[in-house]
Structure 1
Amino acid sequence: MSSYPVHTLESAPEQSRPVLQQLQQTFGMIPNIAAKMAASPVLINGFIGLFERVHASSLSEPQIQTLLLTNAVTNASEWPAAFHTALALQAGIAAADVDAIRQGKLPSDHKLAALSVLARTLIEKRGRIHESDHNRFLEAGFNNEQILEVIAVVAASAITNYTSSVTKPPLEAQFEEFAWHAPAR
């Protein structure tokens, strides 16, 4: 059992409440991962600032959700995998592509596949990509700035992925159909 509470607007530290209110407005609810993050105003405020910038990047919402789902699967993070499965489908990513990512495979869409490969490579190689990885991403139609934007998405998702692993938030009922379990290592 996790020793981190699922905070509400009333129970959260004062400095965490504005972020929880913002998430309530955005999603119509406070995601349990954020409710757990709220125990640390430093963490939740850093998280929201980076996520706002990620969603203001040149990447489309389906591209961002591809990255976030890939990152959750690569990091074996169950709550974020379920959440980003729902958001990826909502963003219009084909169900077959979402299933492929959840299985550790590549989506059929070549640009989404390039994003997924780069994210997985960044995580697995701790950011030490080879020139060939860089060039393959550019050849898929992306640019140098977007490689840096992918790094921002990987960093942002590391916050939720690691928080999920440490705090073990319960999965909300609306995401249960998207539950995902990391394969045994």
Structure 2
Amino acid sequence: MPRIPVHTLETAPEDSRDALKALDVKFGKVLNIHGEMAHSPVALQSYVALQEVIADHGSFDGRTREAIALAVGNVDDCSYCQAAHTGGGRAAGLSDDEMVAIRAGAVDFDPTLAALLELAREYTADVGSVRDATWQTALDSGWSDEQLTELSVHVTLNLFTNYFNHFVQTDLDLPAAPAL
């Protein structure tokens, strides 16, 4: 049971309504996570701002962004984010088998992506710390310093949503991710 109610477009604080309306249009409904974030315009606007910066300036394609989100969501055990990004992953061209492999940390279908995701998984599991060897493997796989730096924003955004869902106990209003 969630700790806070899910706001609707009508009940959300005035300073959250425009962002909530935009998310409603984007996703076809007010998702529970967004309706809960709407309690605090700071929380909702922070989420939206990070999404916009990534959309405007990020170098990763949708497939890579969704893979990062799935890896982080799995390490951080966020069932809501794994469900949300399973839908997003399908839209970005990932197969169900690929998404299960990403969540399980067994990305043998794309060695370049595997190197980046191992860095993301380690970053998540070890509170921002990564081994030099993991960093070097990502570089050797073709990822640039700029992209590895950008990875920190993607992991941070996903940790923000994962932690938020854990904190408020968001109810799942999306199809669950396939079991591992």
Taking structure 2 as the reference length, the TM-score comes to 0.92
How far apart are residue 103 of structure 1 and its match? 2.9
Distance, in Å, in 2 between the alignment partners of 1:107 and 1:167 is: 35
Paired residue for 2:3? Answer: 3
How far apart are residue 107 of structure 1 and its match? 5.0
8 Å contact from structure 2 (residues 63, 89) kept in 1: yes
The sequence identity of aligned pairs, in percent, is 31
Letter in 1 for 2:172: L
Question: How many equivalent residue pairs?
Answer: 179
RMSD across aligned positions (CA):
1.7
Taking structure 1 as the reference length, the TM-score comes to 0.89
Cα deviation digits, residues 42-73 of structure 1 (max 9, x gap): 11111110111123300000000000111111
- Closer, same or farther: CA 170–115 of 1 in aligned 2, 3 Å: same
Distance, in Å, in 1 between the alignment partners of 2:179 and 2:10 is: 31
How far apart are residue 85 of structure 1 and its match? 0.8
Q: Where in structure 2 are there 5+ consecutive unaligned residues?
A: none
8 Å contact from structure 1 (residues 81, 180) kept in 2: no
SS in structure 1 opposite 2:167? helix
Distance, in Å, in 2 between the alignment partners of 1:42 and 1:180 is: 34
8 Å contact from structure 1 (residues 85, 178) kept in 2: yes
Distance, in Å, in 1 between the alignment partners of 2:38 and 2:176 is: 26
Paired residue for 1:45? Answer: 45
Paired residue for 1:135? Answer: 136
Q: Does 1:54 align with 2:54?
A: yes
Distance, in Å, in 1 between the alignment partners of 2:60 and 2:137 is: 17
8 Å contact from structure 1 (residues 70, 101) kept in 2: yes
SS in structure 1 opposite 2:90? helix
How far apart are residue 112 of structure 1 and its match? 2.1
Letter in 2 for 1:46: S
SS in structure 2 opposite 1:135? helix
Distance, in Å, in 2 between the alignment partners of 1:145 and 1:162 is: 26
Paired residue for 2:28? Answer: 28
How far apart are residue 33 of structure 1 and its match? 0.8
Letter in 1 for 2:27: F
